[in-house]
Structure 1
């Protein structure tokens, strides 16, 4: 049997598909899977944080790409805020020009307009103050490498299962056992 790489990806399964953790035998929905699904086992999320069990493998390229996307999103958000502020400023200037032209209006009418503008500013600002990028729930690492002892246990278990399967197949083969002699001695 060709051994599989010590590179496990963490995946979640449905609550109805939960099985016993390989370490503590408690029901778990977390599964560690090797590439090409050669090996998998259920494990509790608490064990994934244990340095004696496994170590996270951090993909530097993915981290750099994520930071780049976050920076681009931040730049877009700041540009949008700046454009909104410029629009508000132009509207206020336009409103000031209109006020100069319409001096005949009542003082009460002008106060109500400025109050309406302040209210609209308050409605827009809470939307802009919210961050565009919310923290994703997938901050935990997804790829792990098992410690040497646990990895060797997984290889041994897989090898023993393959040997047992081969032995079962041999026992079912009728040519394995010797035949009764047909001739006289």
Structure 2
């Protein structure tokens, strides 16, 4: 019974944890072949051991993830730029409207209001800049480096898995043979001569 030397790392519930095949400690990590012909429990620490297995890196998945992150960053920058442009247009429109409507008496009153309005706008801008810096320092969706999910066992461990599967098959075949009544020799029916 041959199966490919490609194992996928999966997690099971903590209540279903069983002993690791290598060190016999309880583990909820399982390595399983794509066709589910072979599987075994293994500690996550063994998956990082270069003498036990090597990770298979899916370049297409990595590139797709990077592209998705880049597109999200571009969208965020575009939104920020559009907001800044809207603010500049609003300020320019307010300034133009203020120049056309001002008279000498109104200028004194509006100067006081504008200075208060300018203070408020500056405070709002400072708050938004502080928020933007906080977001830049700690991204809103922290992306942890994903551990590899697909592994290839080293030759010796893979051979052990193959031998173990063969032994299980042989034991199963022997049990089936022993259940067959014709497996054992029959008792002689005649007297010896």
Corresponding residue SS for 2:147? coil
Report the aligned-residue RMSD. 2.3
User: In 2, Cα distance between the equivalents of 1:78 and 1:176?
Assistant: 78
Tell me if 1:144 matches 2:151.
yes
When structure 1 is superposed on structure 2, of 5-14 and 128-137 the one drifting more is 128-137
User: In 1, Cα distance between the equivalents of 2:181 and 2:119?
Assistant: 95
Query: Among 153, 176, 180, which residue is 1:169 paired with?
Result: 176
Aligned to 1:115: 119
User: In 1, Cα distance between the equivalents of 2:37 and 2:144?
Assistant: 28
Tell me if 1:94 matches 2:101.
no
Dislocated runs of 4+, deviation >6 Å: none
CA, structure 1 residues 182+52, in 2 after alignment: closer, same or farther (shift >3 Å)?
same
Per the normalisation by structure 2, the TM-score is: 0.83
Q: Please, which runs of 5 or more residues in structure 1 have no aligned partner?
A: none
The alignment of Structure 1 onto Structure 2 pairs a total of residues equal to: 184
Aligned to 2:63: 64
Q: Please, which runs of 5 or more residues in structure 2 have no aligned partner?
A: none
State the Cα distance separating 1:102 from its structure 2 match: 4.7
State the Cα distance separating 1:127 from its structure 2 match: 5.3
User: In 1, Cα distance between the equivalents of 2:144 and 2:176?
Assistant: 47
Per the normalisation by structure 1, the TM-score is: 0.86
CA, structure 1 residues 138+159, in 2 after alignment: closer, same or farther (shift >3 Å)?
farther
Corresponding residue SS for 2:54? strand
Determine if contact 1:73/1:133 at 8 Å carries over to the other structure. no
Tell me if 1:4 matches 2:3.
yes
In our comparison, the structure showing a higher alpha carbon Rg is: 2
